[in-house]
Structures are given as C-alpha cells and as structure tokens.
Chains A and B, each alone.
Chain A
Amino acid sequence: MKKTGAQIFIEALKMEHIDTLFCYPGGATLNITDALSSSDIEQIVVRHEQGAVHASDGYARASGRVGVSLVTSGPGATNAVTGIATAYMDSIPLVIFTCQVPTMLIGNDAFQEADIVGITRPCTKHSYLVKDVKDLSRIIKEAFYIAKSGRPGPVLVDIPKDVSAALGEFKYPDKVNIRSYQPTYVGHVGQIKKAMKLLASSKKPVFYTGGGIISSGASNELIKLAERLSIPVTNTLMGLGGFPGNHPLFLGMLGMHGTYAANMAITEADLIIAVGARFDDRATGKVDEFGHLAKIIHIDIDPTSISKNIKVDIPIVGDSKNVLKKMLDIVLEDKEDFGNYSSRIAQWHHDTEKWKMDFPLTYGRSGLLKPQYVIERVCELTKGKAIVTTEVGQNQMWTAQFYKFQKPRTFITSGGLGTMGFGFPAGIGAQVAFPDALVIDIAGDGSIQMNIQELATAVQYNLPVKVIILNNRFLGMVRQWQELFYEKRYTWTHMNHAPDFVKVAEAYGAAGYRIEREDEVDKVLKEVFKNKRPTFVDVMVDPEESVYPMVPAGAPLREMLLV
C-alpha cells in the first residue's frame, strides 16, 4: 500500500525508535503536522525554533540518543540555524527536519523560501534536500546513521511540501551503505603499542580529556586506566562529568578558567595523553607553549582534529572507548612493565597535590552574596547528581569550576559556539528525556532573556526545570573583560532594564523565587528542588564578581591571574 511522504516520515522515525519530536509548525509542515496528529510520537511544540533545536540537543546530550526536531521553511529554518551550529561545534547527534516550499517553486524566491541546505552547509555534518518521495526513507536512514556514527553531528533533511504530500512505497532499508563514509573506530595496534611504550617511560603523565569521552561512553575505561596507573586527569569544559569531579586524581578543568593544578600539570608534564579533545584555543592558551615539555599522544575519532592546532607525537585515530580499552588490556597484561609505575611517578603526584593544595579554587567571602557560593550549595544539596545545564558567560564557568560532576551526561553546556540562550531549552530537552530527574539550568540574567519564551513550553508540558539565575545586573563575562582590559568602561554590558524574573515566572504560570542573602540560599533551594513545577530562582549576586583563575586570551597557561 502506498503512503504519503508525511506517513513515510513517521514510519521512518518509528524504525529509528524515535519517540519524541521537538517542533514548530508552519505552512510547509502541515502535511507532516497533520499526519502526526494520529501518531504516538510525543510532540513538544516550542515557542521559537532555536528552542526546538536546543531542546533536541539537550535531549541528545542527556540521553545519548539522537535528538530530532522539525520546523517550517524560510524563517522557521533560519531560526533553527543557531541551534544547529551549536550542536555542530560540540559534535552532538541531531537530525533536523526543515520543511521546504514545493520543489517546483524552489529557486523562485517563493514565499517563505530559504536555501537552508546552503545556509547550514558549514555547520552540519551533512545535509539533504529530498527531491523525490522515493528517496525519503533512504535519506532518513542515512541521516540518522551519519548523525550518530563516527564523530557525531547534526544532519539536516529538507523536505519540500509536495514531497510530504506525494505517494510512495515505504521500504525502510535495513542497512546503510555509503561508500564514501566509513569512520574508523578501531585504533591502529602499532600506534597503541608505541603510545604505551612512551607512557611506560614517562615520569610526568597527564590525561587531557574532552567531549569524546562522553560521546563514546569511555568514562569507565578512563577511570580504570587512570586509577590503575594513578595518572592525574584534567577535563576540558566538554569533558566534565567524564571523570568524577571529587576523584583524588582529578585536577579540575584546564584552560582559560581552569584550575592552577590543571594548567600547571599541562605546563610541566612530560607526557600528555589527549583523548577526545581537540586542542581548542580556550583550553590550550598560547599554542606554542601548550605542553611544551611534553610528548603528546592524541586519540580522536576525527582525523581532522589531529595535528590541526598542535603537532602531536603519536596520533591514534579511533573511538576513545575502544582505544582506552586496548591500552588498559596492555597494562593489565603488564606487557610494557607497568608493574611499579605509580611509585615511579610518585614525585609527580607530590607536585600535582601541592598545586592543588596551594591554589585551590576559591573566592572572597566578604560582603555581597557570591555566585560561587550558590553553585557550591546547589552541588551540595543535589549531591552532585542533578542534570545541570548552563547558559554562557560567568555562570557557565562558575558551574564548571564549583559543581563537582560525578557522571557523564550530567553537565550540558554550549562549549564550542558559546551560545547564550542554550541552557534553558536544553534543560527542557533533558527533562523530556528524564522526566523524574532534577534538571537545573544555571543562568545569567543576560542569557536567560535569550530564550525566556520557552518557559511557556516548560509549563505546558509540565517540565519542572529549575532555572537559577545568577543575577549580577551585568553581561558579566563581557564586563569582566572590560574590567581587566578596557579600564572598566562598562559600555553595553549594564543590564539594568531586566524584568522582574519572579513576576515573569508567575505570569507564565511557573513558580518564582528570589534570594538576596546567603542565609536564604539553602532554605529556598531545598524548597525549589522539592517542588514539581518549572521554576525561576532570581539570585541577586555580587554584580562585580569575576571568574578566576584567568589566563588572558593568547597567553600561555602558566600565566594565570589568580584571585
């Protein structure tokens, strides 16, 4: 029996076990929208298409599954672009369906036409324009496969309105066969052996691990290997949660706002084992001096990440989990004489411990309520077990520093693109994936205003995301740069016309709280974490608090400004 393109779309989603769609309608979606009315796929209708893509992204990051969104042509599609670019920079598996004007109108500047395949070409892993209904199932199959395999990423599928109306046969392919796309999962045995030789002879090794640990599910392998050899570990922002935040071997995050211990360890190391990390400038500081005393082993599934910013000594292309497992096997078989390795590197432990003790993360406790204190309390009260998203800026860095993440996929943040407005819709997506989990968005008063409209979505679908607004009445991170590098000229960064966030929450039908003093923090937060409603907590924090340590842009990691 023949089906319409819209029905084929739904059948294909079922074949991919997709049960949730983040969406927003328009003329071009109508065939699909209508067909979905009798489907049991849950449809979360957002308030802005950027929110739909971020929500699907939060869903994907929290659950490890592919996030799916559907938006209309033209402005619907262009509104989705920031969400797509955000996911692309952080290698998140999404499939974004955009609807398009009918094929015969494409190229005519038709009403609500946008060349979305063209617009998103540089920020998608791949994209398709479906020109014929007979290609639809194959394309959807390929789109999901490409999104989640290899180095994951967003894939866009543009479906013209006549294609979703046309009749075709539904035959879902069992296998994908793309001759030009074959990701390498298994690391080269010879390279792994070489790496282990180097490791065995190193005296000051450090793991530098990124988002690849999370996406490949390599956290356990990392912990085992680090523990077995007692190698200290630092994470990038994207890697947080991949190694327990309270583990004795954990040095904290590295980079621009990294810990003293992490940045010194990179500076002094004789061997850096980079796993699923891409040597981003915010992590490396001045590249010429990054790990300048160290040999570098780099494990990554994406060959383009290797030797892009920094020339490495032993590259290993492969899946992080797979490669770390092989390394662990070698250690366990004791082939390379790892017998007394931990005692051989005892001096190194001594050094890293001393750095940790001498310069722990800290902040002044005088005067006004400190944002860092709030994060510490959130961490304590949730036992480090909540799913935490962030916006971008100081709120994000303080969360990365002071919330001790225990498990992968519990920290959700826009690392690569640094998208303000990400955290709240992403939190909504995470809450959809885990309805019973405590989901918290740590926000700034600037960022929250970028997708504040999604509060209506949270209320409509009963998604009790807690938004904790660290309200400093400033675009704080930019203000911090102005303070340090522009003689405190706070041009554009005063946010003295923000709305009353408590009233905003109430107006949307959500709960609103305000915290002004330290002694209110625990009481209010406890209540908030118990309630089952979407909630804004407006926390009035010290307006001019800054994030430290800080490595000025372009400086080497050891040149940290401390508190």
Chain B
Amino acid sequence: MRHTISVLVENEFGVLSRVAGLFSGRGFNIESLCVAESLDPTISTMTIVTSGNDAIIEQVLKQLNKLINVIKVVDFKDVDYVSREMVLVKVNAEERTREEILRMTEIFRGKVIDVSPKTYTVMITGDEGKISAFLTLIKPLGIKELVRTGPIAMMRGDKTIKMREKHSKGGEDG
C-alpha cells in the first residue's frame, strides 16, 4: 500500500541525510520526497511517499519518530487530506502539434512557462490522477524531458498538524 507521510524536522544541516539514510539502510521504499522550510523557519516539512505492507509502514513511522531531529510524523492514511504535485514537461512543439499542446494545457489548467522554436515547457499542478492523465495525453506528441516535484500534502478543513507530542500514533498504548 502507498502512504503519504508528513515529517516535521528540525531545519538543520544533516537532517535530510538521516532520513534518507534510514530509508536506504533499512530497505524501505521511497517513491518521492519533498522538503522545504515550513511556516516556522526552524522547522522543515518533508513529504514522503512510501509503500509497503502494514508492518513495514508501522516500522517506517516508528523509525522516523526515533530519529532525534524528527519532531512529528503524520501518516495521512486515516485522515482526509489534499495533496498536489507539480510537473514540468518539455514537449516537442511542431507546427501541427502546437495547437494541441496549448489546448491540452488549458484543459488541465496548466501554463506554458517557456517557449522555444521547437518546444513548449508546460507546468501542470494537480493530484496524481490529473498529472498522469495529462502525461498520457501528451506523450504521443513527444516528451523531451520531464521533472516532477513529488506530492506535498495537508489535512483538509481547519485541521493542522499539532506539534505538542512527538508520537502521532499511540498504537502501542492501545
């Protein structure tokens, strides 16, 4: 199963390598990882997409929590959340496909952010489904290069990640 996890960490050097090292050292999957400063500049938010069975995910969450610099870990599995990713696609833009690319970009509410005589660079944001739908449609036109951010996520409504205690899951304690 796929899980999107938010990890709040101290905004210090070396923290990213601790998290990345944990995943590689223990053979956990990492599908994407997105990290930047949060509202509080002393804290960074990492959004990690990982996969594994329940036992593995339980270990991922616990092992992340165990890192000294990790302040809070939230698995979005059981909460209602929104998630968005951004992708930049450089597409072949020939005479006969230019119109098509623009039309598609508009339908997906994307933007052309760079143009050259032979290419368009298109930016699309959305959830995973939307992005893959766009890529499927645009692929036959010839994608020259593609860069994705990996998703970032947030709880829906007025809920936010509470910082008080470190362990988000009281799993062990009933």
Contacts and interface: CB of A to CB of B under 8 A. Distances in A.
Interface string A310-322: 0100011100000
B59 interface: yes
B69 A180 contact: yes
Contact of A180 (B10, B21, B25): B10
B66 A303 contact: yes
Interface in A163-192: 178-182, 184, 188, 190-191
Nearest to A311: B55
Contact of A304 (B62, B70, B173): B62
Interface stretch (A57-65, A83-91, A116-124): A116-124
B68 interface: yes
Interface string B1-20: 00000000110001001100
B25 A122 contact: yes
Contacts of B65: 303
B63 A304 contact: yes
A320 to B, nearest CB: 15
Nearest to B22: A122
A117 B12 CA distance: 14
B173 A180 contact: no
A191 B174 contact: yes
A125 interface: yes
B172 interface: yes
A224 interface: no
Given A121-B21, A317-B173, A181 B55 contact: no
A179 B172 contact: no
A307 interface: yes
Interface in A83-137: 117-118, 121-122, 125-126, 129
Interface in B30-77: 55, 58-59, 62-63, 65-66, 68-72
A118 B70 CA distance: 18
Contacts of B98: none
Contacts of B167: 184, 303
A243 B55 CA distance: 32
B165 interface: yes
Contacts of B165: 182
Contacts of B14: 117, 129
B21 A146 contact: no
A230 B161 CA distance: 48
Given A121-B17, A303-B172, A180 B66 contact: no
B109 to A, nearest CB: 39
Contacts of A307: 55, 58
A354 interface: no
A191 B66 contact: no
A125 B66 CA distance: 9
A274 interface: no
B118 interface: no
A184 B62 CA distance: 13
A179 B18 CA distance: 18
Interface in B125-174: 163, 165-167, 171-174
A12 to B, nearest CB: 19
A188 B173 contact: yes
B66 A121 contact: no
A190 B170 CA distance: 12
Interface residues of A, number: 28
A208 to B, nearest CB: 18
Contacts of B25: 122
A277 B136 CA distance: 51
Contacts of A178: 68
Given A125-B68, A304-B59, A190 B166 contact: no
Nearest to A121: B21
A188 B167 CA distance: 14
A338 to B, nearest CB: 22
A306 B166 contact: no
A182 B71 CA distance: 10
A194 interface: yes
A118 B24 CA distance: 14
A257 to B, nearest CB: 28
* Residue of B14, B66, B163, B165 ringed by the most chain A CB atoms within 10 A: B66
A417 to B, nearest CB: 15
A181 B67 CA distance: 8
A308 interface: yes
A125 B67 CA distance: 8
A129 B55 CA distance: 34
B63 A306 contact: no
A302 interface: yes
B136 to A, nearest CB: 40
Given A121-B21, A190-B174, A194-B174, A180 B71 contact: yes
Nearest to A305: B62
Given A121-B18, A181-B166, A182-B165, A306 B68 contact: no
B21 A122 contact: yes
A316 B172 contact: yes
Contacts of B71: 179-180
A180 B68 contact: yes
The 3 closest A-B pairs by CB, nearest first: A188-B173, A180-B71, A315-B172
23 contacts: A122-B21, A126-B68, A178-B68, A180-B68, A180-B69, A180-B71, A180-B72, A181-B68, A181-B166, A182-B165, A182-B166, A188-B174, A190-B173, A190-B174, A302-B66, A303-B167, A303-B172, A304-B66, A307-B58, A315-B172, A315-B173, A316-B172, A317-B172
Interface of B: 9-10, 14, 17-18, 21, 25, 55, 58-59, 62-63, 65-66, 68-72, 163, 165-167, 171-174
Interface of A: 117-118, 121-122, 125-126, 129, 146, 178-182, 184, 188, 190-191, 194, 302-304, 306-308, 311, 315-317
Given A121-B21, A304-B59, 7 more contacts: A117-B14, A126-B68, A181-B68, A190-B173, A302-B66, A307-B55, A315-B173
